[in-house]
A and B are shown apart, each in its own frame.
Chain A
């Protein structure tokens, strides 16, 4: 009897797998077939998304509902948990599967541009997005931004005493009470590259040495920084606006400060969208890019828990976040900052002992 059940179970499993496989293969025929010329007529588009899934999925679902185009999305994990979709895009360079790459910070996209896996596309939807958020060669375009912020525990730190500048974190007053995410990955890698571009190597090296001497806690991700601050394991940390907002929505005892508003400026990280070179459904990809760069998407991302800051004027700012026009953003040449990411990462490996 037991053997019969086992055989039945195994047979069912294999049958189910075959059915699932058949269904999925038919679903994906569009993606593979178009590489060899079997175009799907724009009814399917494949996007690799390095924006957080919880924020990107509703946007893509809205696009599906609006246009009837099926969006095949592949989502990324936090950069410290897996090697990320940018590697998949590079590995698939000779036979691309994705039409569009949507990143939540500029560094990855600029690496992809250097590797020759992106194609230029100038979207008319982006006409009213400021020029400094667009690639002059049209390989990428920015939209809805996040900011790097200082998060602090409101039970342990008064608003008046909270650090107002990134450089305050090297003050011995905060010794052992500061957390940052590993600066080799994700938005923190962008932030440190921006600091090196702004300050120059000598000053930036000195700052990170003082931070190290101040026993900064380097953890695996920005969400961990937020959680450590919320739990009171550290008093302050550096993370992203969307991470803090999630905690604010949960009524956790944290608040955020936009750092260096009066100094070098607040580091702003736009989402970046690009067309993949040789993509299977290029025209469908362009239409999706147009949608992502629209005011409608910026408004949706501003309303969402991601509280992303619209880059164009005229779109309502998210709650808990001041509008872009109300503070001084750090002036950055994203291309130059990204060019130095690898070198900066190696310097910081030595300075911070990573």
Chain B
């Protein structure tokens, strides 16, 4: 008997374990909730939730909710891409000073929870907002209370995602291809015909992720009184305490995400990409006199998307004393957040690299279903995930010990963000040529050695970018954390949201600034450690 044919390869075992963990951690909470949705509150088998779903879906109200949900997701994704894509290209390819500064300040909207950003916009306008005191002109607060307002807030929240992803993708584009093209075209032509088509899959994949994020966001439409399916799911939980109905109501959300994902994959397909390796120089276009136009655009985006909401929050606070007072009682929660988010982001990325690699190297038609399943599971509202985790982990066996420990919060992070990290990393792995792995195998290197020594180092920039994104999302996670956090183990967002229930707007603003400041300072520290700029000087 040839045991070589029976014993699976190291690669098969590693990818098998990774996919088992994906199913166990990310899919089972949702599957558990769907299984429970066929029972009523007394435990009897019932289809009442689905009958209600059908009645909502067939009413004009249902169609209106679906249209609003899709419009919110699509609008936010388009706006975020329109802002983030050119910024990402500029950061990767243009010659202008202060890139590190711009990169960090443009991350600011991402680290402020969208709910707080919406609140900041409301506070900026109106009769008592800082815009009227600054300009003497009253900017009506009503504009924020609309679908358009929600799109603007969420687009402005998520454009840094598009910016980061575009920049990371542009950095990976083969310098040789661009160099060769430069023989026939000018820098603009190279950008248009070589660079942009090669980064397009990443840009569109990120737009899809933003679509999902905006579609499942509850806080902003809730605050701005925009009716979408997420608010219906929320109402089923918070007003009716009906888990079955809430779970059933996620189906339209998941279907719209599935449709958007299918369209995105049909549009993009899969490009054969090659990585930039051994590239001494770096393709970069000189802005020349246009540098000032670019600078003006950067300053405008900075002013509108970053300065206005942050200054609005600052304007509402009663100065540093109030922020320091907020820090005083939040030290434990802050430490919990930093440790749990750091650990969560590390574990999420650690699992996602295997999954993304496996997906990038798969060739069968099933890979499209794999992508779509990741997109759909990422679109499950956090509360559904949280209740599902309680059902699965609050058990008398060993899981009960995990449930009673802070590690359950990390498990919630894994459940929510492994699909996101995997989707973000797939295109990076696809840009690493398989020929390099084949060459390493011929040279006698084992698969694990090849993976760690050849494949991973080439996507180092993407790993860092994805780690930062996941860290930010873990840090701001509220819906699932609030449900699973054991007594006495609140994170900073949970503490902030429990404090703002009765606080004045000035205290809310101080707490929001506190949260944003800590994430930003953490990221600045990290960027210094990892020296992101190193990549600009060529690997």
Contact = CB atoms under 8 A, between A and B. Distances in A.
Contacts of B407: 21
A81 B339 contact: no
B488 A73 contact: yes
A21 B405 contact: yes
Interface stretch (A30-38, A194-202, A323-331): A30-38
B260 interface: no
Contacts of A220: 222-223, 225
Contacts of B141: 233
Given A55-B502, A81-B497, A185-B239, A74 B487 contact: yes
A189 B241 CA distance: 13
- Among A2, A17, A54, which residue has the most Cβ atoms of chain B within 10 A? A17
A77 B405 contact: no
Contact of A91 (B387, B404, B478, B482): B387
Contacts of A87: 237-238, 241, 243, 383, 387, 483
A243 interface: yes
A2 B529 contact: yes
A77 B238 contact: no
Interface string A70-91: 0011111111111110111011
A97 B383 CA distance: 19
A231 interface: yes
Interface residues of B, number: 65
Nearest 8 interchain pairs by C-beta: A72-B487, A83-B237, A32-B404, A75-B498, A231-B128, A52-B502, A91-B390, A78-B501
A92 to B, nearest CB: 6
B115 interface: yes
B504 A250 contact: yes
Contacts of B405: 21, 24-25, 28
Contact of A90 (B241, B346, B490): B241
A92 B390 contact: yes
Interface string B131-149: 0000000000100000000
A72 B235 CA distance: 28
B314 to A, nearest CB: 17
Interface string B460-501: 000000000000000000110011011111100010011111
B503 A246 contact: yes
Interface stretch (B86-94, B190-198, B394-402): B394-402
Interface of A: 2, 5-6, 9-10, 13-14, 16-17, 20-21, 24-25, 27-29, 31-32, 35-36, 46, 52-55, 72-84, 86-88, 90-92, 94-95, 97, 111, 115, 184-185, 189, 218-221, 223, 227, 231-233, 242-243, 246-247, 250, 252, 306, 341-342, 345, 354
Contact of A36 (B128, B342, B396, B530): B396
Given A54-B499, A246-B503, A88 B390 contact: yes
- Among A31, A76, A227, A246, which residue has the most Cβ atoms of chain B within 10 A? A227
B289 interface: no
A77 B529 contact: no
A31 B529 contact: no
A81 B407 CA distance: 24
Nearest to A77: B497
B82 interface: no
A246 B487 contact: no
Contact of B241 (A77, A86, A221): A86
Contacts of B342: 13, 17
